[in-house]
Amino acid sequence: MDLLRLPLKEKVNMATEVSENSKFVLSLKSLAAIIAIVASFIGMYYSLSMEIEAAKKLPVVTIPDPEITRQELDLKLELISTTVMGNAEKLDKIETQVEKIEERVYELK
């Protein structure tokens, strides 16, 4: 079944040229939909503008800049260095264990 060859029930006259005699037809359903959409946009605009005005009246909140004291910096650096040193010790232990395992494997061959 070829859908392109089906006959149209009604012949629709399409205007090929816009002039003073051209007609513009809207159904009541379309007109009501357009009015509803415009009304909702107007309502959203006024609602948003009222919220903006209310926000302008709120006090301004300032967030103070975090100041790091020398003591805090020293403590953080000390913590980092002890963590690094602890990891180095753990790495040394792991390396010795790997060497022992390699020796055992070599002996088994």
CB atoms within 10 A of CB 21: 7
Query: The tokens of 11 are what?
Result: 């012949």
What is the spatial distance between Cα 80 and Cα 69, in angstroms, rounded to a whole number? 17
Those residues of the chain that have pLDDT short of 70 are: 1-15
Q: Write out pLDDT tens, residues 52-78.
A: 999 999 988 888 878 888 999 999 999
Contacts of 34 (CB under 8 A, 6+ apart): 26
User: Quick one: pLDDT at residue 1?
Assistant: 46
pTM, two decimal places = 0.39
Q: What number of CA atoms fall less than 13 Å from residue 3's CA on the CB side? A: 0
Q: What are the structural domain ranges in the chain?
A: 25-62, 64-109
